[in-house]
Amino acid sequence: MAEPARSAESKPVSAADSRSQVLRDIVFSENLGFRPLTLDLHSPSGSDVSLPTIVFVHGGGWRLGSRRMFVPGLDPAESFGRLTGAGFAVAAIDYRLSGESRFPAPVDDVVAAVDWIRREGGDRGLDASRVLLWGESSGAHLGALAAFRQPTWVRGVVDWYGPSDLTTLGAQLLPDSPGTFDDDPSTREAGLLGGAVGSLPELARAASPALQVPTDAPPFHIAHGTADALMPFAQSEELAAALRAAGVDVEFTAVPGASHFWKGAEDTPSLFDAALRFATRVTA
């Protein structure tokens, strides 16, 4: 059973972008038997209005990663500073990794972060009625599932090259031998589920956003590189199709020649700009 969250004592620190400040290590959730979960709160300096808030969910295959890195290769000014410069607060969150707990624990943790904003965000200058989830890779997967669980809590989701259907992923990665993936207990996806994807079909379906889309899902902005060898482009095609079939507002951008982490993308800033235009629209 989860205990009430508390806020750690945090001190403002200057971000790489001089227009923003950061409060580090704020505890937003405590579950018995696990480490306290913390977030870093980035916000524009000197703001005196309630801010729309982006909850950033980091990637790392559900087993590693850091809330302090938006995308490998981008420094804080190019990522968090870009968002605060556009007038958003950003809550970059931790969640339980697969070495600590199994699905659906990390989804629970993303939901808990949004709940913390709803309960305590007003005291920190956050507008709890204007929350957007933004995830990268496995973080996008968790953000999508969290939004589906509590669709009225969030205004939208930015999904950058996230997994969406664990039941088809093996065939997309290894079309000649999908069983090599489905029966492998050492994959990142198996770590998330607690066993090989093929041996846990119902759990794999429950952990697949493309198979769980509710009709009241919030709007989505999806972007994925067409040359992504780590997470096939077809995964985002599936999610976009499922969202559209459910009548959900979805923007889907194919990024020609780009691979994971936007390697090979000709213009990464434009990808931020497109996502920010979406975030601004849905949180208006």
Domain ranges for the chain, please list them: 2-165+217-282, 167-207
pLDDT at 15: 37
pLDDT at 257: 97
pLDDT in tens, 128-147: 999 999 999 999 999 999 99
Measured between alpha carbons, how far is 195 from 258 in angstroms, rounded to an integer? 31
Instruction: Please give the residue that has the higher pLDDT: either 22 or 73.
Output: 22
pLDDT at 233: 98
The mean predicted confidence, pLDDT, of the chain is 93
pLDDT at 115: 98
Q: Is the pLDDT of residue 261 over 80?
A: yes
Measured between alpha carbons, how far is 284 from 281 in angstroms, rounded to an integer? 5
Measured between alpha carbons, how far is 218 from 190 in angstroms, rounded to an integer? 28
pLDDT at 13: 37
Q: Is the pLDDT of residue 63 over 70?
A: yes
Q: Is the pLDDT of residue 17 over 70?
A: no
- The percent of residues in the chain predicted with pLDDT above 70, rounded, is 94
89 to 43, 143, 244: CA distances (angstroms): 4, 17, 29
pTM, full prediction: 0.93
Q: Is the pLDDT of residue 7 over 80?
A: no
> According to the CATH classification, is domain 2-165+217-282 in 3.30.310.220?
no
pLDDT in tens, 18-60: 578 999 999 999 999 999 999 999 999 877 789 999 999 999 9
Average pLDDT on 79-88 reads 96
Residue 20 phi, psi dihedral angles, 5° rounding: -130, 165
What stretch of H or E contains 119?
helix 105-120
Instruction: Please give the residue that has the higher pLDDT: either 16 or 122.
Output: 122
pLDDT at 118: 98
pLDDT at 213: 98
Give residue 74's pLDDT band: very low, low, confident or very high (50, 70, 90): confident
Distance of CA 272 to the CA centre of its chain: 15
According to DSSP, the residues that pair with 53 across neighbouring strands are 89, 131
Q: Is the pLDDT of residue 124 over 50?
A: yes
Q: Are 228 and 258 in contact (CB under 8 A)?
A: yes
Give residue 195's pLDDT band: very low, low, confident or very high (50, 70, 90): very high
Average pLDDT on 223-236 reads 98
Q: Is the peptide bond before 104 cis (omega within 30 degrees of 0)?
A: yes
